[in-house]
Each structure stands twice: as structure tokens, then as C-alpha cells.
Amino acid sequence: MADMLSLVLSRRFGPMFATQFLGAFNDNLFKTAFIFLVAFHLEADDPAGAATLATVATGVFILPFMLFSGLAGEVADARDKAWIAKGVKLAEIIFMALGAVAMLLQSVPLALVVIFLMGVHSTVFGPVKYAILPQHLGEKELLLGTGLVEGATFVAILLGQVAGGLLPVAWAGPVAVAVAVLGWLASCFIPPAPPSSAVPIDWNPLSSTRRALGEAFANAELRIATMCISWFWALGAIYTTQFVPLARNDLGGTEGVATLFLTAFSIGIALGSAGVSRLTGGHISTRLAPWAGLAMALAGADLYFSVAAFDGRAGSVSTFIADPRGWRVLADLALLSIAGGIFSVPLYGVLQTATNSAGRARAIAANNVVNSAFQVGGVLAIGAAINRGVGVPAVLLGAGLTVLLLLPLLRRLPR
């Protein structure tokens, strides 16, 4: 704990940590506030229309990752990453000011434009936040720093979603602007991170993405790490999108129970992400990843049976946690997510170290492209299965067991 606190309070890491945390929080605050505006005001009489707009908003946010990640990696390799972070955070203030106007006017088209711009913001910042860490952290600090960034991202997503749902519509925009200002102020304290690449930037989004993917998939370590990380984020997207129907339809619980699931899942990933460095002695090692994957599969299987053990009357949060069966469900979610953090963070370490510093951001960018494709593909596949009558517990079980297909790949990585 002392090591974590010391790192977070250091200038080498603290400003970047705060910057990325506030950015992830703001993305989810605005998206959630928009979804609540649509569901409870603009489309209150049309649940199907509200659900469609929520799906569109998610797709609009993810689209820039698929379009511009390669270009973002090129820029991050060729420019000072601290300078990029400051510029991105300044742009976020402008985007959120536009978002405040959209919320005030209750304009769906303008809000979707803002969500797209926030996706662009996150796309550009994504390669920076991981590629900058090896420049500022020591070898024994890198895994801890990476784990703190990933764990904090999930916590920020959770808190942003909660805040976006609780804040009155009129407040969401001004609060998002204030958070963006705080993020920019934090970015001003990030130490310089000069580029290592002398290669000219390819400003064509298509060819720069093709170059990033080509470099990543030509390297066996990067290829395996990218595929496994992308699977993990797809699984996270599948689980988090199905918590509400799982709680309401399969367990007979309230929205509070679904929020409890999301909380347990997010905190579990944060704990696993932050703790894996201690388990490996600070070394970037994937020796625990296969075991963590196996633990995820076992927890997912027990979750299926623990949900089936309920009689569909989970009720409120207090009723749910008063039932021992509820604690079994939460234990499964916690074990699955803690193992997920242990599974994924060392793989990010591979991305950061398996290529030279001149191409590190492009490797992260390639991972972001594949991540977004996996998330979209996974959610669509699960949605199609549910539409065909497959139950949510069975869908989650099947998605979780796919990790077994990755175990042979993981064993090919350097231990």
C-alpha cells in the first residue's frame, strides 16, 4: 500500500494518473446523463426508442477508436506525450462546454456529436497513457503503475455512470466542464516525455491503422497479448451490459442490485489490477495469466449455478444481501473480476516492453483497434444469442468459458 501511495503522489505518475481518471469519469458521466435524459424525458413513452438511442450512443463513442487509433499511435510516437495530454485535455473542456449546451437544449443530435468528440478525445489519449509510463517509471514500478491505471479506469467508469444517473440533467453539463478543467490542470503537471521516433507521421487514418496492426501482428508476443487483452475487454463489455437484465429478469432484483453487481465487478478488477504487481514481485511476467484465466472460467461457471439457485425473488439490495445465495453471486463476480485484473495487467506490460520505444504507442494503438472490434463483435453476438432465446446466465457462462481457448496462447508468452 505504501508503494502505491508513494507512486500516486509522485510527479512522475500522479498527474497522469489523475488526468486519465478524470477523463474516464467524464466520458461515462456524460454518456450516462445522456442515456437518462433520453430514457426518462425525451423518449419516456418509447422504451424501444430509448434503448436504440443508448446503443447508438455506445457505437458513436467506440467508432473513433476504430477509425483513428492508428493515427493516434503515430502522433504519440512522434510528439511529446505530455504535450499531447495537455492539448487533449484542453479540447475536452471545449467538448464538454458543447455538451452542456446539448443537455440544456435537450438536443439529441448535438449530444451524439459531443459523444463522438469524446470518443476522439479518448482515442488520442489512449496510446499516451500507457506508452508514457515506461518513460517515467522504473522497471520495478511499471507493472504497478499499469495496474493502477487500469484499475482506476474501471472505478472511474463506475463512478461516472453513477454520477451521470444521479445528477439532474441541468447539472450534468456544468459538472462535466468542471471535471474537464480539473483534468487539464492535472495534465499541466505531467513531466515531459519526448518522442523516440523520427519516422514521419502518416496522417492517413486508414494506412496508419494498417501500419499499426501490421507491426503488432508481425510480433508474436504483441499479437498474443493484443488478442487476449481484447478478449478481456469484450468479456467486460458483455458482463456490464447484461447486469441489468440479469438482476431484473433472472434474479427478480431491483436496479440497485444491478448497480451492486457493477460495483463488485469494477472494484474487483481494480483490486486485481493493483495487486498483481505484488504477486509477481514487480516483474512483468505472464506466468499467472493462465491461472487467472482458469479462475475466471470457474467463477463464471459457478455464477451460472448460483443464479439458478435463486428463485427469482432477489428483491431490493437489502433483501439480496440478507440471503446467503446473494453473497455467493457477489463472490463469483468478485473472484471473476479480481482474476480479470491479474489476467490483463501483465499483458499490458507485454505491450509496453515487447517493442522498441519508437513504436510503443503504435502497439497500444493497434491493441485499441482490436479492442473496439472485439467489444462491438462480442456485444452483437451476445445480443443475437439472447434474441434467439438463449438466457442471460447461459450467455455469460459461454462467454466466460471462451477463455479456455486462450490458455494455449498464453503459455507461449515468455514467463
The model's pLDDT over 252-303, given as tens digits with 9 standing for 90+, comes to 888 788 889 989 999 999 999 988 988 888 888 889 999 999 999 999 999 9
407, with CB counted inside 10 A (0-12, 13-18, 19+), is: middle
Q: Is the pLDDT of residue 226 over 90?
A: yes
Contact 213, 66 (CB under 8 A): no
Cα end-to-end span (Å), the chain? 26
| Burial environment of residue 412 by CB neighbours within 10 A (0 to 12, 13 to 18, 19 or more) | exposed
Identical topology for domains 1-196 and 203-415: yes
> What's the confidence (pLDDT) of residue 259?
85
CB 314 within 8 A of CB 320: yes
Give the separation between CA 96 and CA 113, rounded to whole angstroms.
11
For the chain, give every domain's residue range. Answer: 1-196, 203-415
Which of 64, 63, 53 is CA-nearest to residue 31?
53
Output the pLDDT for position 382.
84
| Separation between Cα atoms, residue 142 and residue 132, nearest integer Å | 10
Query: pTM for this structure?
Result: 0.88
d(CA 271, CA 61): 27
Does the domain at residues 203-415 carry the CATH identifier 1.10.3720.10?
Answer: no
The region that residue 281 occupies, defined by phi over 0 for left and psi between -120 and 50 for alpha, beta otherwise, is left
- 107-150 residue pLDDT tens: 989 999 999 999 999 999 999 999 999 999 888 889 899 999 99
Which is the CATH superfamily of the domain at 1-196?
A: MFS general substrate transporter like domains (1.20.1250.20)
- What does the block give as the cell for 395? 450467455
Residue 415: per-residue pLDDT:
64
Q: Which residue has the cell 472505478?
A: 155
| pLDDT score, position 138 | 85
Choose among 338, 367, 222: nearest CA to 278.
Answer: 338
Classify the C-alpha dihedral 167-56-21-87 as positive or negative: negative
The pLDDT value given to residue 45: 66
User: 369-380: per-residue pLDDT in tens?
Assistant: 999 999 888 888
pLDDT at 39: 67
- Per-residue DSSP letter, 203: -
Output the nine-digit C-alpha cell for 187. 495534465
User: Considering Cα of 147, then 152, then 158, then 161, what sign does the dihedral take?
Assistant: negative
Exposed, middle or buried by CB within 10 Å (0-12, 13-18, 19+), for 162? middle
